[in-house]
Amino acid sequence: MSSRICVTREIPAAGIDLLSGCDASVRVSPHDRPLCHEELLAAVTGCDAVLCTLADTIDAAVMEAAGPKCRIFANYAVGYNNIDLAAAKERGILVTNTPGVLTEATADLAWALILAAARRVVEADAHFRSGQWTGWGPMQFLGYDLASSTIGIVGAGRIGTAVARRATGFSMRILYTGRQRRDEIEALGGQLVDLPTLLEESDIVSLHVPLAPETHHLIGRAELERMKPTAILVNTSRGPVVDEAALVAALQAGRIAAAGLDVYEDEPRPAPGLVDLPNTVLLPHLGSATHQTRAKMATLAAGSIVAALAGRRPENLVDAACWPGRCGQ
């Protein structure tokens, strides 16, 4: 009997083709939205493998619904805070993610937010399109220089390092936080500092940390008050890293100049007042949204499932200690 694979959301064809080539029955959700919990329980029932997204809450109940044959949940994302890892380990279920392939795309998007916020691109575009523009003026939409300014990278992993690398093109001073020194950033002239120093000295603060208990509301009222009134906050990591209500208050009061966000604390709902602020650039979680990157993510997640169903160790196991799990049965 062929294996049963559930894919909780439509993904690029490259991933589906890979799954379909491994003697499996592949069921892809017909809904262009995240499944509610009841729908998710029904979708995974009796499956040998599940390809899920960061919008899916994979808890013990979902794993129980999948049943004793389920070998793997392959997360179509770098982060995996949506999956109960302890419950997976207890049941011998493997969990994988898709690191590395979305580094450059997400770093590019962080810079798109930096540039758009610093030069007020969204405000100016809306002004022009509305027919309000009457001609050039010396005080119109004044923004901030990036050349020779200071960028603060909070979280010096793959994406943070890629953002720092791009900053050299603007001759920026680079500060960063991290658990240890990052040789690649140091080679760019970057300096490892603590978070308070970074916040106080940076013109751009760009967030690149995973969501964990210690990073939840890493940027709150006290941290925002440390930033320069001309500073810009950019978040392409996870929404709950920022206390969004505190951010709205800071932007309304002019405690910081602007913010560029691709992620939100309670997606897809923004904090009250956020969308009314002109000094924001707000994107709908597009960090990895390029044709090439999303296709690579699909093949990486699908490849993990193909390997697990064949009894091989998948790449990108979130917890290597879980191997072989049910793959060894």
Q: With b meaning 16 or more CB within 10 Å and e meaning fewer, what string describes 87-104?
A: bbbebbbbbbbbbebbbb
Instruction: List the catalytic residue out of 165, 267, 313, 315.
Output: 267
Report how far apart, in Å, the C-alpha atoms of 253 and of each of 120, 225, 246, 256, 258 are: 18, 11, 11, 8, 11
Q: CB-based burial of residue 71 (10 Å sphere; 0-12 exposed, 13-18 middle, 19+ buried)?
A: buried
Tracing tokens 């909070």 back to the chain, one arrives at 154
Clarify whether 129 is annotated catalytic.
Answer: no
Instruction: List the catalytic residue out of 71, 182, 238, 294.
Output: 238
Element (H, E) at 258: strand 258-261
Clarify whether 158 is annotated catalytic.
Answer: no
Residue 7 CA from chain centroid, whole number: 20
**Cα 93 to Cα 169: distance, rounded to the nearest angstrom:** 44
User: Quick check: 201 and 176 in contact, CB under 8 A?
Assistant: no
Residue 182 CA from chain centroid, whole number: 21
Clarify whether 223 is annotated catalytic.
Answer: no
Instruction: List the catalytic residue out of 71, 182, 226, 285.
Output: 285
Q: Enumerate the active-site residues.
A: 238, 267, 285
